[in-house]
Amino acid sequence: MVAEAAATRTAEANFLISIAAHHLQSNLSPFSFITSLIPSNGDSLLPLRPPLHPFQHLRPPHPQTPPLSPPHPHHQHQTPLLLPRLRPRRLRPPPLLPSSLAAAAAAAGDPSSSFQIYYGTAASAANYGGYGGNASKKDSAEYTYEVPAGWKERLVSKVEKGTNGTDSEFFNPKKRSEREYLTFLSGLRALAPVDDVLNNLALSDVALQDQIAAADAVRSRERRDDRGQLYYDYEIEGAAAHSLISVTCARNKLYAHFVTAPNPEWTRDQDTLRRLHHSFRTVGADTPASSSSSSS
């Protein structure tokens, strides 16, 4: 900066000296000399401002300082970032536990797989426990009925079998009073009148007596199966519970199949309970048990 200022002053001094020398040579008055420097078109021959540097016109232009801030993103060409294409991974469902297989089959549209068939032998109290543990219950079955998957079997005692003839019983583990069971009585070849049969059953079942006494309605009907065997069906609507009973005679025995549930469970499971009621049948000597069902 100091060198440039000195050069400027030198140029100005040289300029004034050249003007003075020219005035001395021209023999003109100062005013005439100054006016002679102005051309007729009005343009001045004198530079209005001396150049800042004698070699200013030879200097290259100063390079432009790059901007401090980055350019606008719209002015840049950005290459898109390509990520590898990932294939969606299929998750396998967890394996079903044996306890949930029946429920899954029912949800898949196979309602029969959510039930199992129980084969009852109606053995006397003296033969309680089977025939030495070697005989198949399916081969020696005298009756069958369906049991919902998940229901539990209650072990019937020898005393209970000998007193009221209970042969088998299953219950809902979520509500033990929702159950089905079968009783039998030996020495009967045929059914008595409909009303008499129900009263005789109540003599050995105190809970049934109370239910009939407090019932809002008791309905009965007769029906025959595909073999022509006669059944009595009863429906008892009580103030606290609902019961379905099916009674028949075969092999000189009377079989009574009970399906009972408290009213809230009856309202919820009515279709299932009616199915259990209609599934009961005896197995005659000329009608072997169905080979398509498994024994319990």
pTM above 0.85, yes or no: no
Task: Note the pLDDT of residue 10.
Answer: 75
Q: What does the pLDDT read at residue 284?
A: 77
Which range of 8-17, 264-273, 283-292 scores highest in mean pLDDT? It is 264-273
Share of the chain above pLDDT 90, in %: 47
Amino acid letter, residue 284: G
Confirm whether 290 is domain-assigned: no
* pLDDT for 292: 39
Residue 165: other Cβ atoms inside 10 A: 22
Return the pLDDT at 120: 96
Residue 18 domain flag? no
Under the banding of pLDDT at 50, 70 and 90, the label for residue 287 is: very low
pLDDT (mean) for 1-9: 68
**Is there a domain that residue 227 lies in?**
yes
pLDDT at residue 182, as a whole number: 97
The answer as to whether 121 is a domain residue is yes
CA distance 253 to 187: 6
249 is a domain residue: yes
Q: Is the pLDDT of residue 277 over 60?
A: yes
Residue 49 belongs to some domain of the structure: no
**Rounded Cα–Cα distance for residues 189 and 160 (Å):** 23
Q: What is the mean pLDDT of residues 90-94?
A: 61
Q: Domain of 180: which CATH number?
A: 3.40.1000.10
pLDDT number for residue 124: 81
Q: Would you say residue 282 has pLDDT above 90?
A: yes
Predicted confidence at residue 9, as pLDDT, reads 74
pLDDT the model gives residue 204: 84
Q: Does residue 213 sit within a domain? A: yes
pLDDT at 101 over 50: no
pLDDT one-digit tens code per residue, 218-242: 999 999 999 999 999 999 999 899 9
- What's the mean per-residue pLDDT of the chain? 77
Residue 5 lies in a domain: no
Per the structure, how many domains does the chain have?
Answer: 1
pLDDT for the residue 126: 72
What mean pLDDT do residues 98-122 have? 66
pLDDT given for residue 85 in this prediction: 67
Q: Which pLDDT belongs to residue 253?
A: 96
Q: What is the mean pLDDT of residues 176-202?
A: 95
The per-residue pLDDT for range 131-167, each reduced to its tens digit, is: 444 457 888 999 999 999 999 999 999 888 888 899 9
Domain that holds residue 176: 115-128+138-282
